[in-house]
Amino acid sequence: EDDDEDLAKSLATMTFDPLDRDRFVDDIGETADIDSSEVTVFVDPLDGTREFVEGRLENCQVLVGIAIDGEAVAGAIGIPFPDGSLETDTTIIYGLADIGTSVVG
């Protein structure tokens, strides 16, 4: 039970940096003229809940993908506990179609 409280406190204090545009070679622009009905967002907690509950934190991951008019345009993989410890920084791998990928953490 103490471990659960420690984990909850740790998660509550996590902050995430905004997308670092300098990591990409091309300018990704500020706005886009996209009809929101054409946007699909996928959120998949890969190996998440069960592994988290069992304490196998290094196996917890979340995938977020964005498609516009059925074509994948962006995605991110969040690895909150890359080495299975609450003491390490989260790793986020993200990418934009036709622009590239980057890693934070």
Q: Which residues are annotated as a binding site for Mg(2+)?
A: 44, 46-47
Tallying the residues shown for the chain, one arrives at 105
Query: How many Cβ atoms from other residues are within 10 Å of residue 80's Cβ?
Result: 21
User: What's the pTM value of the predicted model, to 2 decimals?
Assistant: 0.62
Q: Which residues are annotated as a binding site?
A: 44, 46-47
Q: What structural domains does the chain harbor?
A: 36-105 (3.30.540.10)
* Consecutive H or E run containing 43: strand 39-44
Render pLDDT for 55-101 as a digit per residue (tens, 0 to 9). 888 888 888 999 999 999 999 998 888 888 888 888 889 888 888 88
Phi, psi of 71, deg, nearest 5: -110, 130
